[in-house]
Amino acid sequence: MLQSIVLSGLAIGSVYALIGVAYNVMYSASRVFSFTAGTLGMIGGILGSLFILRMGLPIWLGFVLALAGGALFGVVTEILAVRPVLKSLDQHLYVLSTLALALMTQQFAAIEWSTEPQPFPRIFDLPRGGFDQTFWLPMLACVVTIVGLELLYRHTLVGHAFLAIAEDNYAARALGLPERNLRIASFAIAGAIGALAGFAGGQLLLAFFANAPLLTFYGFVPVALGGMGNNRGAVAAGLILGLFQQAANFLVGGIFASVAVFAAFIFVLLAFPDGLAGPSTQRRV
Amino acid sequence: MPTSAGELLRVSGLSTGYGKVIVLRGIDLTIGAGEIVALLGPNGAGKTTLLRAVSGLLPWSGSVQFGGRDLSGAGPRETAKAGLVHVIEGHRVFTQQSVFDNLLLAAYDLPRGERNARVEEALGFFPEIAEKRHERAVALSGGQQQMLAVAQGLVRRPKLLMLDEPSAGLSPVLVDRVFVVVGRLRETGTAVLLVEQLIEKALALADRVYALARGSIVLQAATTEADLPHRLELAYFATAERRVN
Amino acid sequence: MTEIPETQPSPPRASFFGSGAFSHVLPFLILLAIGIALPLFAGGYWGVIAQRACVYWVLAAGLNLLVGFAGQLAIGWVALLTLGAYTSSVLATGNVLPPIHPYLALAVAGAVGAVFGVIVGLPALRLRTFYFAITTLGFATIVTQIALAWTSVTGGGVGVQGPVLPPPFDSQWGFYYFCFGIAAVCTWMTMNVAASRFGRALTAIRDAEVAAEASGISKPGLLVTVFLFSGAVAGVAGGLFASLQSYITPDAFTIELSVLFFIGILIGGRGSVLGPLLGTILLTVLPELAAPLVAWSTFLYATLLLVIVLAMPGGIADLLDFKNRRPLQSNRAIVPRPELLPRLLGEHRNSGKLTLEDVALNFGGVHAIDGLDLTINPGEVHGLIGPNGSGKTTTLNVISGYYAPQRGTAKLGGEVLPALARHTRAQMRIARTFQTPRLVGEASVLENVMIGGTIDGQGTFAESLISLPRHRRDEAMLRENATLALSIVGLERLAAVRTDRLQHSELRFVEIARALMLRPAFLLLDEPAAGLSAEEIRRLGALVVEIAKTGTGVLLVEHHADLIFDICHQVTVLNLGKKLAAGTPAEIRSHREVVNAYLGG
């Protein structure tokens, strides 16, 4: 039982962590928390199933197209729902525009795809059982993403520019950095990461439209607990969340597991409004 | 006055502000190539606002010509590419990145092969921070951060460098060191528009001076003219003078 | 019916059939008449839709105070509908406890809704907007999951029977009238709150939180009250919903339903009751107009929401606001009438001096203020000047309780001002204005000024809900004082205008009028002359001098040297957080060091 809790907990936790990272990447570039983060996960799952199972494309191609679809949706989010409200962030309108886009996409998927969970293909032709790909795929995706982002942020000029914009948007603009293009790029990256979460976790969560609100909530928990904009914090908190949820599932059963997660979340948030790790480096408040 | 042949920046009838608040009305100002011009004025007169407008950080109406080019609608990236570089107030460098990376960011738009050379060139002006090139900017003192900010501006080899209160929060020794570099820019032919609160130092360095008060230019003069501090004071307190007496 | 007199919309008066009030109520009366007469001209199918619209509105009416007025993005409020529905169904059916009367079950549903409304609302008191939005969403998801899984009580996926009301409310139109009655009462109650100091305080929390605090409005207390009310009506709506459905299963309570309420309110427009009412009716009826719309309804709502946010943030209420589309006179001047000041401020108030003693405060090692002593006398204008970053605004923020000094104290008449308790300053009659005017753009100028007098009201929230005499007395008093305050600053002709249509200079005077509503012992003005023309600055100066003459001590933080030297009794010059000089304007004017530091700027 312990093995099962740990495996499924780390697997689902990796999905939450990746959605949390998608939240963070969008937030760092725009100071906007987007309700579309969970939608990205849904898109990854549905597009994967659509391209590979329904349209019969090769798995690698389906994977690439699903990620591209997520990236495209990220860019659309930036153009349609984020850029127009950047000037009035204090009025919280951004919450509503991204919410509207998330709902539209989710409803579109429910109608045009299916209102029932649809099967997701197995990616590798390996025997089932034990440490199955259902579990290790999301974990692998999480590791690859984190390593990739660290390399990007540390060793490339574009990555430094992303960090600069996240730290001090005004100074970055004054320096002549192409702030708008970098923001679009961030949303594309976040889109691909979110879609990757949905694709890698596809065998766990299936291709289901209702994953969108679920992931929007559970993906935000790691952000809130790990500290806004803090990717390492999000991954740690995401994995803990997954383990906690699965443990509660096994120990007290389905209903009270959700209640326990929710109650713990609210409690921790009220006690530590800036997250368990404290706020990420900020200046000029 | 600069001759029109050597004229680099011509601002005419510029008005700008924040939302409903109009801060500057009908500003006229010119800067010649290689000239050092000080922009002085009391608190809240709109000096920083003027720099922001000219560098495209704020929308404005009127006309701004730079090197013969019309800058209407240009954002900070376009103005910087054109050679008009704005070093904003408060030495806001990127604290979590190294000195070298901070300067590389300023070279973002330069061809890949030239970036390192340009960064080294800028570091050459400030040996003090060149030594700390691999340290994160958060570890620098306020004065060193200011040097870094100025160095960021120099990476692009600007035709005009606009410095907003480079002395703010710095000890006198550090101020002098920053000002020495500004003086050396004259040799390289870089024009400077300097917003300063240390009037005497600014006047010692600059060729010409503009004074801004209540949203308008109230005085312009060559720094060689006599009795300048007193005239500046009169210009600032124009209305107060009338009433107090 | 009386004839409607044709008058210009002068500042609205309290008399009911005065054109202002009547035209305000007219749309509701029309809706009331249509609602009552509905069975006469609509068939049974429309009856069901009308029932649903009424039930939805009962919830949306309460949610409107939370979303439209207080600006709290409670997306998952459907959770309380779910709770109310299950509570009333389970209790009335008696599948756990012995069955209870449906009315009692409905009341319990309301009580449960109120309790959970506060629980769900708690994060809003401490956390950022998005966090609160997400927690309500999470709560909604979880309540549905529990309903599905807790089979012994909720019947799980099979569901549970909804309560059946006793005659005459068991027939279709009988039940309709029952729901309609509750909806009408909810409408009336929220209109009362909207027009009360509580409604205005909510909009202040939404759009100008710092100004709300400076006016003595306690955000947590007020929000908890509203969570209670919104939760209660949502619980009742849930009970009605269960009766309407006659059988409830968890899949009736989708996020889509929650979004319907939420979007209905936003389409209606923030800070309005009529708009969200029409919005809710619109969203309920829209899918019935064409069959394909049923499936696509949420998509449609979401698209509407996006359009509203991007293209017309004012919503329906804005479209209906004909009054504010009339152009304003363009060359209007602000002509203050300080001679009216004694009528508003009354006798000389004696509160002693406002003093700072050895106050020090640093931010991350930088000394913002470093051992500052300052005394402001009642009846004097005290100027505070200095270069950028010299600590002027920080000083003002220490007095008004935004920062806790690391050393030293601020005192009023010998009594220590509690640090970081911003909303206590209004009780001590310390009023302030802000560098950037903080006003509710969508409210009228008069309403904005009335916000300043919030703490002088006597009635409670409950009294305002049902419009008891104390509530009406408060409103009359606040209205009268605010009209007077506007006359004093010279803006009474703009009383009924939406505040965001005013010019910047007018906004500064509105802020002063709002501050005067506190009958301040001390008035803190943060760069009041910024952005004003020379003539306006002169009038401002004259007004400030007259305010001081009534006994109010004024602290004037200003860059405009001319204004400072013109009107101040005392001037303190700060530099690098320390007092550089202090004295009369003439002394300061001849102070060499000051001239250098100040000119530096």
Residues of chain A with pLDDT under 70: 90-93, 254, 277-285
- Give the pLDDT confidence of B30-58 residue by residue, as tens digits: 999 999 999 998 777 889 999 999 999 99
Helices (H), B31-171: 47-54, 76-82, 99-106, 112-124, 127-130, 142-155
Cβ <8 Å between A92 and C303: no
Size of interface A-C (CB pairs under 8 A): 103
Q: Is C477 touching B (CB cutoff 8 A)?
A: no
C-alpha distances in Å from residue B244, one per residue of B214, B241, C298: 18, 5, 68
Cβ <8 Å between B42 and C559: yes
Cβ <8 Å between C601 and B168: no
Q: How many whole angstroms separate alpha carbon A269 and alpha carbon C132?
A: 10
The tokens of A254 are what? Answer: 């389905």
Per-residue pLDDT for B3 more than 60? no
Residues of C in contact with A259 (CB under 8 A): 142, 146
Q: Is C151 touching A (CB cutoff 8 A)?
A: no
Amino acid A46 reads I
Among C421, C422, C424, C485, residue whose Cα is nearest residue C453: C485
Name subunits touching C (3+ CB pairs < 8 A).
Answer: A, B
Amino acid A246 reads Q
The partner residue sitting opposite C599, judged by closest CB among B21, B199, B243, is: B199
The Cα of C507 is separated from the nearest Cα of chain B by a number of Å equal to 10
Per-residue pLDDT, C599: 53
Cβ <8 Å between A176 and B95: no
Cβ <8 Å between B104 and A171: no
Per-residue pLDDT, C448: 96
Cβ <8 Å between B45 and C561: no
CB atoms within 10 A of CB C108: 19
CA dihedral angle for residue C179, residue C181, residue C183, residue C184, rounded to 10 degrees? 160
The partner residue sitting opposite B88, judged by closest CB among A164, A174, A177, is: A174
Q: How many whole angstroms separate alpha carbon C537 and alpha carbon A227?
A: 46
Per-residue pLDDT, B237: 64
Mutate to test the interface with C, among B16, B20, B40, B43 (most CBs of C within 10 A): B43
The partner residue sitting opposite B44, judged by closest CB among C389, C559, C596, is: C559
Q: How many whole angstroms separate alpha carbon C304 and alpha carbon C293?
A: 13
Q: Is A170 touching B (CB cutoff 8 A)?
A: yes
Per-residue pLDDT, B142: 82
Cβ <8 Å between B104 and A170: no
Backbone phi, then psi, for B40, in 5-degree steps?
A: -115, 170
From chain B residues 9-68, the ones with a CB under 8 A of any chain C CB are 17, 19-23, 40-45, 47
Among B235, B179, B212, B203, residue whose Cα is nearest residue B40: B212
Among C482, C464, C382, C592, residue whose Cα is nearest residue C188: C464
Size of interface A-B (CB pairs under 8 A): 67
Per-residue pLDDT, C364: 66
Residues of A in contact with B109 (CB under 8 A): 176, 178
Q: Is A217 touching C (CB cutoff 8 A)?
A: yes
Predicted complex ipTM exceeds 0.85: yes
Per-residue pLDDT, A279: 52
Per-residue pLDDT, C276: 93
The Cα of B47 is separated from the nearest Cα of chain C by a number of Å equal to 10
Cβ <8 Å between C302 and A101: yes
> How distant is the alpha carbon of residue C302 from its chain centre?
26
First to last CA, chain B: 34
Residues of C in contact with A279 (CB under 8 A): none
Q: Is B168 touching C (CB cutoff 8 A)?
A: yes
Per-residue pLDDT, B141: 84
Per-residue pLDDT, A126: 84
Per-residue pLDDT, C15: 41
DSSP designation for C457: -
- Give the pLDDT confidence of C475-520 residue by residue, as tens digits: 999 999 999 999 999 999 999 999 989 988 999 999 999 999 999 9
Residues in chain C, total? 601
Rg (CA), chain B: 18
Instruction: Give residue for tokens 């040097």.
Output: B147
- Give the pLDDT confidence of B207-216 residue by residue, as tens digits: 999 998 888 8
Question: For chain C (length 601 residues), average pLDDT per consecutive 10?
Answer: 40 44 82 86 84 94 93 90 94 86 93 94 83 87 84 84 85 90 95 94 92 92 95 96 91 84 89 92 85 81 88 83 81 87 77 88 77 91 84 89 88 85 88 93 94 93 93 94 95 92 92 95 92 89 94 90 88 86 86 64 38
Among C61, C73, C79, residue whose Cα is nearest residue C190: C61
Q: Which long-range contacts (CB under 8 A, 24 or more apart) does C146-153 make?
A: C146/A255, C146/A258, C146/A259, C147/C82, C147/C86, C147/C250, C147/C253, C148/C250, C149/A253, C149/A254, C149/A255, C150/A255, C152/C96, C153/C86, C153/C90, C153/C95, C153/C96
Residues of A in contact with C138 (CB under 8 A): 217, 262, 265
Is residue B241 very low, low, confident or very high in pLDDT (cuts 50, 70, 90)? Answer: very low
Cβ <8 Å between B104 and A160: yes
Amino acid B194 reads L
Cβ <8 Å between C562 and B237: yes
Residues of C in contact with A81 (CB under 8 A): 306
The partner residue sitting opposite B197, judged by closest CB among C530, C562, C601, is: C601
Residues of B in contact with A175 (CB under 8 A): 76, 80, 105-106, 108, 152
Q: How many whole angstroms separate alpha carbon C76 and alpha carbon C144?
A: 11
The partner residue sitting opposite B197, judged by closest CB among C504, C507, C600, is: C600
Q: Is A104 exposed, middle or buried (0-12, 13-18, 19+ CB in 10 A)?
A: buried
pTM for the structure as a whole: 0.88
The partner residue sitting opposite A174, judged by closest CB among B76, B115, B156, is: B76
From chain C residues 222-281, the ones with a CB under 8 A of any chain B CB are none
Residues in chain A, total? 285
The partner residue sitting opposite A176, judged by closest CB among B76, B93, B97, is: B76
